[in-house]
Amino acid sequence: MKIFFKKTQAVWLVFTMSYLFSQASNAEQVLFPKAEPILSESMDPPLWMSLANGDDGYVRISAEVKIPPTSCIALGKNPFFGSKQTTQVALSLKTSGFQTNLSDKDIPIATFDSTGHEGDCISPAKLPITVIPLTRLESSLSGSVGDLRIMLNVRSTTNTKYELVQKAQIAVSAAAIFTTGAATIALTTLMGKIGEPALLPFIEGFEKYAGNMTNGSSVIEQDWIKIRKVPIKYEIPVYLAETKWDESAADVITRLQRGELDSNNKQFTVVLKFDYVRSIFDSAPIGPNYLPNRENSLTKHVLAYPEQPGLPNILQVLNSGSPSLGQDLSNPNKNTSETCNAIYTKLSTEIRLSKPDRAITMKAFIDESMHSSDWPQTKLFSDCFRDLKDTGEMIATHYGLGEVLPEVPDGQKAYGPTFPNFPKWKAEIPDLMAKIRGILTLPDNRNAALKLLNRGTDIEFIDYSTAWETPSLNQVVASSPTAAGGTGAVQSVTPLPTLLPNIEKFSSRKISQAGCFSAFYPDDTNMTVPKGYMLMLDDSNRVWLGIATFTDVRPRILSSFEVTQVVNGDGWHQSFSRKNYGENAICPSILNHTPI
């Protein structure tokens, strides 16, 4: 009997050891992401985002795999009996709701492969990759949770028959063909269908191959309301685990994602970074500027965008028809308003520019088509923007209506010889004054436009005549929607968090004409003060003197504005009358309205 029991125990021991060994040898390494992404960085919305509800800028999202310098990712080492196995890992991102060419496509971003290096520290094949290119910020009024999704998929396998890494790397390599910089793979651009036909088949090939594999996922749920709260960085940790006994890879992922995760098993982190851009024509990322710097919105820069091989630029897209839109603009038999509406629609739906960039591009395109930048002074301006009042007003705000230089006298003849510092004053201050003029001559929305131009900063306002403010004219009136998509200059504007009472007073009066830009200084030293003088004619034919002082710090904004009424024969009237503003200047017209 003892011999029998000893044999039986031996059989059970052999059986148990065999079973344990078989289960251990079948244990599989699994990588999976934390189910809930971590919002690790955000910021307060900039001014330009606070003043609107969408269609005012762009968001760009990039992804990168971050591995701590001291970390060792040892794939393929089985903890039982020191056995080794080949492990392949592919990380990919799938987005939905964003208007991109690869929406709802699984885009590989990195791979790990322990083949030939089982149990050793391995590095991923990866590059920083732009998964959401510059994409227009859409209206947050219609947003709801789940409208926008970014899903990280982590797939891993120990089956040597699978070519998971190979398929993923082919797709990543194909994307690298379209790299616009040494460090970033840009899968798409704002207006180019880069994914077709060269890249899309490789992405779809990876999707088809990996679609049936078990993967761990982590989802960032967004909508346009949440985007406008300005998330900057999400982090998704990725962990390593092994299956136990008869547990499948799907089982272990489900079990661990629902429980507490061991920080010792964390291997690396996928970082998603959000960048916000006011304009595609200004490389500065986030900031309070109403529109980009003037030097960045010159015609040659705007119409040449995006300047990438194989992609049409904006000018080519707008002139792709026959006859072209540029030809229609210069054709007197064509309806100017309809042509401008067609330009606007193309910029909005095909190139998907934001509202400010549509204004900049329309100005540049019409400059090019008419071979002149003087057209805002002609009937073409009012005809073009009859249905697009908001766009016309943005152009007036950004560029100033009319030519600036004819409104500046060549010298200070009434006050002695020309000062050496006068050319410096003339090169900067009149341009700033032209922006103020552009706002004061808007039919409505002057208050909101001036707040934007001045970056939400109030001014000192002095009314020596105590007759300037007209609150009834200071209403923000939204234009009605038009067939071409115009919606009024600031139709979706929400109030600033703090009131700017002096800007409200200053913008309350409607000005029909403004000009006579001058520098009245007693000596050349004071010529360096950022100050300018101008005359303004209101809707009641009253003439006003305006004295604008700008900040010393650049970029300059308005610091103070002083006003007083001007009458025929007073000192100010005589001073401006003695200046020569050249032909076509509107200064004499303003002076002729001064009452006696």
Please indicate whether residue 210 or residue 40 has the higher confidence score (pLDDT): 40
What average pLDDT does range 227-241 have in this prediction? 91
Task: Assess whether pLDDT exceeds 50 at residue 415.
Answer: no
Q: Is the dihedral of CA 31, 36, 38, 44 positive or negative?
A: positive
Q: What pLDDT does 326 receive?
A: 93
Domains in the chain (CATH in brackets) are: 26-275 (no CATH), 297-397 (no CATH), 410-469+496-595 (3.10.450.50)
Q: What percent of the chain has pLDDT over 90?
A: 18
| Residue 589 half-sphere exposure toward CB, CA atoms < 13 A | 13
Interatomic CA distance for residues 173 and 36, integer angstroms = 30
Q: What pLDDT does 368 receive?
A: 92
For the ranges 109-118, 216-225, 320-329, the lowest mean pLDDT is seen at 109-118
pLDDT band at 184 (very low <50, low <70, confident <90, very high): very low
Interatomic CA distance for residues 258 and 262, integer angstroms = 12
Task: Assess whether pLDDT exceeds 70 at residue 127.
Answer: no
Interatomic CA distance for residues 108 and 190, integer angstroms = 20
Helix (H, G, I), strand (E, B) or coil at 545: strand
Whether omega before 285 lies within 30 degrees of 0, making that bond cis, reads: no
Q: Tell me the C-alpha to C-alpha distance, in Å, between residue 422 and each of 425, 427, 518.
A: 5, 9, 10
Task: Assess whether pLDDT exceeds 90 at residue 559.
Answer: yes
For the ranges 91-105, 226-240, 475-489, 538-552, the lowest mean pLDDT is seen at 475-489
Task: Assess whether pLDDT exceeds 90 at residue 273.
Answer: yes
Q: What pLDDT does 526 receive?
A: 62
Question: For 73-106, how does the pLDDT look when each residue is reduced to its tens digit (9 = 90+)?
Answer: 666 555 544 456 677 888 888 888 887 777 888 8
Task: Assess whether pLDDT exceeds 70 at residue 247.
Answer: yes
What average pLDDT does range 379-384 have in this prediction? 87
Contacts of 530 (CB under 8 A, 6+ apart): 428, 429, 432, 549, 550, 551, 552, 556
Q: Which of 72, 76, 73 is nearest to 118 (CA)?
A: 76
Mean pLDDT, the chain, whole residue set: 75
The string of DSSP letters for 258-299 reads HSPPPGGGEEEEEEEEEEEES-TT----S---SS--GGGG-H
The string of DSSP letters for 516-537 reads EEE---SSTGGGGS-EEEEEEE
Whether omega before 323 lies within 30 degrees of 0, making that bond cis, reads: yes
Task: Assess whether pLDDT exceeds 50 at residue 497.
Answer: no
The string of DSSP letters for 346-415 reads HHHHTS---HHHHHHHHHHHHHHHHT-S-GGGSHHHHHHTSS-HHHHHHHHHHH-SS-SGGGS-SS-TBT
Task: Assess whether pLDDT exceeds 70 at residue 325.
Answer: yes
Question: For 249-270, how does the pLDDT look when each residue is reduced to its tens digit (9 = 90+)?
Answer: 777 777 877 778 888 888 889 9
For the ranges 330-344, 386-400, 580-594, the lowest mean pLDDT is seen at 580-594
Interatomic CA distance for residues 334 and 328, integer angstroms = 6
Task: Assess whether pLDDT exceeds 50 at residue 405.
Answer: no
Q: What pLDDT does 75 receive?
A: 65
Task: Assess whether pLDDT exceeds 80 at residue 134.
Answer: yes
Question: For 339-353, how does the pLDDT look when each residue is reduced to its tens digit (9 = 90+)?
Answer: 999 999 999 988 899
Task: Assess whether pLDDT exceeds 50 at residue 472.
Answer: no
Please indicate whether residue 582 or residue 97 has the higher confidence score (pLDDT): 97
Do 107 and 92 form a contact (C-beta atoms < 8 A)? yes
Q: What pLDDT does 491 receive?
A: 34
Question: For 48-60, how does the pLDDT look when each residue is reduced to its tens digit (9 = 90+)?
Answer: 787 678 888 899 8
Q: What pLDDT does 452 receive?
A: 78
Helix (H, G, I), strand (E, B) or coil at 466: coil
Q: What pLDDT does 429 receive?
A: 86
How many residues comprise the chain?
596
Q: What pLDDT does 496 receive?
A: 40
pLDDT band at 460 (very low <50, low <70, confident <90, very high): very high
pTM of this structure: 0.66
